[in-house]
């Protein structure tokens, strides 16, 4: 295994805000109902996020931070003041690239008039709004707390403040038809958004939907047709599909997510946050305690906020790399595999050869990417590297 050069690997920061007004029944993220004392708690949580990041400073080695992503949960529950303190603290601790992409996730049900302007003033330059649907009926079936009109108001507020914003949309929803999806997509295209993330509703283990599957879900054929409709309509409107669920206008791909998918590094802080860092000795992953109170109180009890820290075994690196890189429709240069894992390309040569012969990977030896058929069987292609 060759020595790794961290200076060649992009660095991002992920910050997790764990609270929501109410947990959605399809959500398997680390999110919790907001406590009654959240307004008083947010200052302490922000201070703890910055303390948590201190543990990464040696690993960062002065590397420039290319992107910051504040996810959740519902980070838009934060006040503008708390967010400003958080980003100011980040700037004091890490060198940020002049064009550092700073994304904040927001939900329409937590948007007060003018709140987006406060976020923009604090330093956020990209917003991601969890619209999910512009239909009151489908929003209700999804268990969302906002209405379609609230979603439209949030989009209008974002458009007036941000030049760059994303909308999250879901399809294959209970009771949804292709005609209904077409209307959703047309409204999203007309919204002024520069990026659209379109996710198929999946029933994840441990969620409320897994315990009680909603009625009226489209069947497998209908779902496949809806996926094709998403790509057709958005492509025609100038949104290029560059990742399994990501569609962007020219120049507006999500740089933070691209760093994930190209096996870059990301420092992570907050309840349940997962981070990855490359050192000359190898790749290390860390996971924070998931329970927000346990994460917050850990130092008071003489415990670490880090629940798990482990070096990634060389045998696991090919799968971890491909799990991310193969999501990109353009794939990645074959040389990136060695740069990001330290392993020679020969380590995955048998799997590459078999997948190319099966028509699941592009035959170009200088690039690793799926064919269109391979994308349809992405999980199988990824698992070939286990």
State mean pLDDT over 310-325: 98
Q: What are phi and psi of 16, to 5 degrees?
A: -105, 125
107-111, 290-294, 321-325: which has the minimum mean pLDDT? Answer: 107-111
Model confidence band, residue 109 (pLDDT cutoffs 50, 70, 90): confident
Model confidence band, residue 329 (pLDDT cutoffs 50, 70, 90): very high
Cβ neighbours for 372, distance < 8 A, ≥ 6 positions apart? none
Report CA-CA distances (Å) from 84 to 46, 308, 351, 367: 10, 30, 48, 42
State mean pLDDT over 305-314: 97
Q: Which residue has the higher pLDDT, 24 or 62?
A: 24
Q: Tokens at residue 228, please?
A: 């094709």
> Which domains does the chain possess?
6-259 (3.80.30.20), 327-386 (no CATH)
- Per residue in 223-262, pLDDT (tens digit) is 999 999 999 999 999 999 999 999 999 999 999 999 999 9
State mean pLDDT over 80-108: 97
State mean pLDDT over 343-369: 98
Distance in angstroms (rounded) separating the CA atoms of residues 286 and 265: 12
Q: Give the pLDDT of residue 113.
A: 60
Cβ neighbours for 145, distance < 8 A, ≥ 6 positions apart? 21, 22, 107, 109
268 within 8 A of 49, measured Cβ to Cβ: no
Q: Give the pLDDT of residue 267.
A: 98
Residue 201 confidence (pLDDT) above 70: yes
Residue 136 confidence (pLDDT) above 80: yes
State mean pLDDT over 326-336: 98
pTM of the model: 0.96
State mean pLDDT over 365-381: 97
Q: Give the pLDDT of residue 1.
A: 74
- Per residue in 209-233, pLDDT (tens digit) is 999 999 999 999 999 999 999 999 9
- Per residue in 173-194, pLDDT (tens digit) is 999 999 999 999 999 999 999 9
Q: Which residue has the higher pLDDT, 114 or 143?
A: 143
- Per residue in 28-61, pLDDT (tens digit) is 999 999 999 999 999 999 999 999 999 999 999 8
> For the stretch 72-91, what's the b/e string if a residue is b when 16 or more beta carbons lie within 10 angstroms of its beta carbon?
bbbbbbbbbebbbbbbebbe
Q: Give the pLDDT of residue 53.
A: 96
Q: Give the pLDDT of residue 132.
A: 97
Query: What is the rounded average pLDDT for all residues in the chain?
Result: 96
Residue 110 confidence (pLDDT) above 80: no
């Amino acid at each position: 295994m060759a020595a790794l050069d961290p200076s060649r690997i992009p660095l991002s920061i992920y910050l997790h805000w764990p609270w929501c007004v109410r947990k959605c029944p399809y959500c398997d993220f680390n999110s919790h109902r907001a406590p009654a004392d959240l307004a008083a708690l947010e200052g302490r949580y922000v201070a703890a996020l910055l303390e948590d990041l201190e543990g990464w400073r040696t690993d960062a080695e002065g590397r420039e931070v290319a992107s910051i992503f504040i996810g959740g949960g519902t980070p838009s529950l934060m006040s503008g003041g708390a967010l400003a303190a958080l980003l100011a603290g980040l700037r004091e601790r890490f060198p940020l690239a002049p064009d550092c992409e700073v994304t904040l996730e927001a939900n329409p049900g937590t948007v007060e008039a003018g709140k987006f302007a406060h976020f923009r003033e604090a330093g956020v330059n990209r917003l991601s709004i969890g619209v999910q649907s512009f239909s009151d009926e489908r929003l209700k079936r999804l268990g969302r707390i906002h209405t379609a009109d609230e979603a439209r108001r949030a989009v209008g507020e974002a458009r007036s403040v941000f030049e760059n914003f994303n909308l999250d949309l879901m399809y294959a929803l209970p009771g949804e038809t292709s005609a209904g999806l077409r209307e959703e997509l047309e409204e999203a295209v007309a919204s002024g958004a520069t990026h659209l993330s379109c996710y198929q509703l999946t029933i994840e283990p441990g969620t409320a939907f897994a315990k009680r599957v909603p009625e009226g879900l489209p069947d497998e054929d209908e779902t496949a047709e809806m996926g094709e409709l998403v790509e057709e309509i958005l492509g025609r409107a100038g949104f290029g599909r560059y990742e399994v669920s990501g569609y962007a206008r020219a120049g507006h791909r999500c740089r933070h997510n691209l760093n994930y998918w190209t096996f870059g590094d990301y420092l992570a802080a907050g309840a349940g946050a997962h981070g990855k860092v490359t050192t000359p000795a190898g790749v290390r992953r860390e996971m924070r305690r998931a329970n927000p109170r346990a994460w917050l109180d850990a130092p008071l009890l003489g415990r670490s906020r880090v629940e798990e820290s482990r070096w990634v075994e060389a045998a696991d690196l090919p799968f971890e790399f491909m799990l991310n890189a193969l999501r990109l429709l353009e794939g990645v240069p074959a040389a990136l595999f060695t740069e990001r894992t330290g392993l020679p390309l020969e380590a995955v040569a048998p799997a590459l050869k078999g997948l190319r012969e099966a028509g699941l990977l592009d035959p170009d030896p200088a690039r690793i990417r799926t064919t269109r058929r391979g994308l349809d069987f992405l999980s199988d292609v990824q698992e070939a590297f286990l």
